[in-house]
Each structure stands twice: as structure tokens, then as C-alpha cells.
Amino acid sequence: MTDRLTRTTPAPKPGIVHLGPGAFFRGFNAVYTDEAMQAQGGDWGILAVSLRSAGPRDQLAPQDCAFTSVTLGPAAKEARVIGAITGCLVAPEDPGAVLDAMTDPAIRIVSLTITEKGYCHNPATGRLNRDHPDIAHDIANPGTPKSAPGYIVEALARRRAADHAPFTVLSCDNIPSNGKLAREIVLDFARTRDTALAEWIEGNVRFPSTMVDRITPATTEDDIAELEAAESYRDEAMVNHEPFRQWVIEDDFPQGRPAWDRVGVQMVADVEAHELMKLRCLNGTHSTLAYLGYLAGHQTIADAVADPDFAALCRKMWSAEIVPTLPQPEGEDLPSYTDALLERYRNPGIRHRTWQIAMDGSQKLPQRMLGTIADNLNRGVIPQGLCLAVAGWIRYVSGTDEQGRPIDVRDPMADRLRDAATSDDPVGNVLAISDIFPAELARDDRFRDAVAAAHDRLTRDGAAAAVKAYVA
């Protein structure tokens, strides 16, 4: 049997705790940080913390937390061993160990890739959902938290009590103004415990916003076997990713940071225009391709855009509905950016499954589509493509595809969505879910009528025909 990958260089001393060590973190944050330490040194090793599953620890620990980053180019693959991770904890097994690590003054940054649902918030309002089971638990049991906000607030409370400087909270999730959201959620939570603690956090803790971009498809057993055949070691923690990457960070780190600027990270004063560009142009069309592509029988994004109608769908949405709503990001050419996106989607080396991207739509749509729809309506334009995408999501969460086969819908609101989407008024009942749709948008007859018409077409003619009609 082939030996597991082993670390060949000493592990760096930790300076970062990262919550949510999934594939994206390994193919993005860890790679950049590994390169930054090679470029300029520093004690910026990453202690990875899984808030749920023991899987990341079980994959990483046998190989001293080294893992392989595989770049999937259009013509060839390139493998590189990454050594930035110093250890991996499983929070439910030992909450105290996680809090001890986060309280250590050597930790200067706590970063997050916990997905939208990890913030335990109401997506329509951006405020903490105090009825969320994990939040209710953490309010009652601050010393044994379950949620990311619970861990952050308890660790900051302990640092304050010990007179240690606070860490910087660095959100790396695909959410508009992710730093501002993280700040509001943490402050909301802190206010449930102690007004003085909340005031200390408000005055002393920094929450820089970021824009992150790299496609990282889920690793399969075939990927692991292929790497084993090529490199003569087995690495169950390996991650695949596209060649492209972009990280834009608001440069606000009172306790210091890795030399990310030395390895291509854009350190800026304000990331808002960049993150809006990415969320609307990439994530908005990614979700559109996920729901409509899945319904049309396309297993991956590359399969979907190989269909000329689906490629045209992206181009029309960008030019007519998305780019006109965007402020100009510094140093970006928006038409060139969208052209490059389509080429990234077409990369045959990236098998990014439509089903994977379709997960957690109730948490993603407000950031990826609904703001763009509202901006279009405000300028007097009914965005038919985006309304078709919303209708496609409603069809998808009904739980049955166009051939009558069950869909494995993964969403924290899956049961509620299925009930609404299979009712006598699927569009009306789904749009009435205020946790997803802001009231002003849900009440707009232009939006409701466009989604209802698109849903009728999808039900009658199918996704492929509906897309063809839109781009005609």
C-alpha cells in the first residue's frame, strides 16, 4: 500500500486560527499564507478548527497537516505540497481546546470560511437569529459554544479579561460586506451577554472585508487515486482548484498579518466594489447555471456552458442585467472580467458540479441575486434572466426534477421550501418567506409576475427551452 503524504519541513508557529477548513480554505487561504511565509517568513501558521465534522482532522492529522494543492489547468495538472496548517481541532470534541487556542496572544487573526449559514443570521436582515438552535445554546452555555459567533465572542471575552490584545476577525465567505456582517453578528451576540463586552469589541476589534475567488470542486476518490498514481503517496486531504485566484482584502490588521501583498493579494482601503463585482458576476451566474443547468440535465458548470444557449444566458445576464448595476472597481475592466469568467467556466479540468453549487440556496440568493434584481427594478428594468434563475431555484427546491426523479436538496430550509414550492401557489408561497425575500421586493408585482411567468414556462417547457427563449 502507498504511504501517506508526510511533512518534509518543520511546521510554522501558529498565528491564525481558521474556522471551517474545507476545500476552499485549503485551496485558497492556506496556499496564499504558505506562499507569504516563504516570501517573508513570520509565525503565521494556521490552526484549523472544524466546527462540525471530524473529517478534516482525520484527513490532515496522519500527514502532520501537510496536504497537496492541485491546479487543474486546461491541458495539465500541477501538484504542490502546502505546509501552512500546523494542526486541526474538532470543536465538538473539545471546545475548551479551541477556546484556549483562540485566547492565546500568539493568535492575531481568526479567519472564517463557514458559508452563509455559519453566521446564524437572517439573510433578509443581516441580523443575528437568536432563535437559531446553536445561538440559543451558546447564549445559555458560553463556555461550550457550538457556533462561530459563540466561539469568537467567548474567546474575545477571555482575551479582554486577561488584558490580551484582540485578534482580527477575517471573514472570507461569499457575502457582501462580509466583514461588516461578521461585525454586526458578533456585536449582536455580545450584547446578549454583556453591554460592556460589546462596547469593548466595537471599539477594539477589526473586521476587514474581503473578496475571494477561486473555483474549488469537491474532491473525489478518483482524484485521490489519480494523485497517488502520479506522486506515489496517498493524500486524502488533497484539494483541486482552477489556476485563477483573486483575493482582495481591506488592509486593517492592528496585530499584523502575513505578507499576503507579496504573493498577489490586493490590499486595499475598500473592497466593496470588487466583492459586488464577484458576487453578482460570478456567484450570480454560477447559481443560475446550477439550478437551470441541473434541471436541464447538466452535471457540471463546464457541461452547462458547452451548451451555446447557456453560454449566451451568461453573456446576456452580464451585459443587460448585472454589469449595469455595478460601481466601477478600481483597476478592473468589467467586460474583460466577464469574458474571463466564461473561459473559466469552460475549463474542462474543473468538474464543478451543479448540484454542489445548488446547495444552501436560501442563504445564497439574497447576496447573489436579489440585490441585483432590486437594483434593476429601481432603474426601471425587469431582469428576466435573474427572474428565470429564481424560478429555476423554486423548481429545484420542489425536490423533483423534470423527469420526475427526486432531487437531493441540501438547504437548512429544505422542508419549508419544498412545502411552499409544491403548494397550489409555489411562487407566491416561496416569495412570502420573509427570511429570504425582503418585503419590498416580494410585494413588487413586476418581480412576482416575471418569476411566475418564468416558473410557468419551466414547468410547461423545461429549463433548456426556457433558457433558449430568454436568449433568443
Q: Check pLDDT > 80 for residue 23.
A: yes
Cα separation of 424 and 434, whole Å? 19
Per-residue pLDDT of 383-421, as tens digits, reads: 999 999 999 999 999 999 999 999 999 999 999 999 999
DSSP string of 152-183, one letter each residue: HHHHHHHHHHTTPPPPEEEE-SSSTTHHHHHH
- In this prediction, residue 59 has a pLDDT band, given cuts at 50, 70 and 90, of very high
Q: Where in the chain is the domain with CATH 3.40.50.720?
A: 14-268
Q: Which of 276, 285, 281, 279 is nearest to 305 (CA)?
A: 285
CA distance 240 to 316: 30
What is the mean predicted confidence (pLDDT) over 327-335? 89
Q: What is the pTM of this model?
A: 0.82
Fold entry, domain 14-268: Rossmann fold (3.40.50)
Provide the pLDDT for residue 348: 85
DSSP 20: -
Mean pLDDT of 269-292: 95
Query: Residue length, the chain?
Result: 472
Asked if pLDDT for residue 266 goes beyond 80, the answer is yes
Predicted confidence band of residue 1 (pLDDT cuts 50, 70, 90): low
Q: The C-alpha cell of 51 is what? A: 466546527
Detail the DSSP E strand segments found in 113-233.
121-122, 127-128, 168-171, 210-213
Q: For the sheet with 77-82, list strands across it.
A: 77-82, 67-72, 239-241
User: By the 8 A CB rule, do 305 and 285 touch?
Assistant: no
Q: What is the pLDDT of residues 194-219, one digit of tens each?
A: 999 999 999 999 999 999 999 898 89
Position 28: which residue type? F
Is-contact 120 147, C-beta < 8 A?
yes
Reported confidence tier of residue 93, pLDDT bands at 50, 70, 90: very high
Angle between helices 178-193 and 148-161 (to 10 degrees): 70
252: closest CA among 159, 168, 165, 155?
Answer: 168
Residue 263: the pLDDT is 98
Q: CA 57, CA 198: separation in Å to the nearest integer? A: 33
Mean pLDDT is lowest, of 70-74, 103-107, 407-411, for: 70-74
- Which CA distances in Å does 265 have to 36, 73, 85, 158? 10, 21, 19, 32
Q: In the predicted model, is pLDDT for residue 426 greater than 90?
A: yes
Span(s) in the chain for CATH 1.10.1040.10: 272-471
Burial class (CB in 10 A: 0-12, 13-18, 19+), 131: exposed
Q: Which of 165, 164, 171 is nearest to 149 (CA)?
A: 171
User: CB pairs under 8 A, 24+ apart, for 380-383?
Assistant: 381/320, 381/321, 381/324, 382/446, 382/447, 382/450, 383/317, 383/320, 383/321, 383/450
pLDDT at position 327 over 70: yes
Predicted pLDDT of residue 423:
97
Higher-pLDDT residue of 124 and 429 is 429
Residue bearing cell 436568449: 471
CA distance 335 to 277: 11
Round the average pLDDT of the chain to a whole number and report it: 96
What is the identity of the amino acid at 321? E
Q: How far apart are CA 167 and CA 178, in angstroms?
A: 17
- Does domain 272-471 bear CATH number 1.10.10.10? no
pLDDT tens-digit series, residues 336-354: 999 999 999 999 888 889 9
The pLDDT of residue 126 is 86
249: pLDDT strictly greater than 70: yes
Of 90 and 269, more confident: 90
Give percent of the chain above pLDDT 70.
Answer: 100
Pull the grid cell for residue 152: 469568537
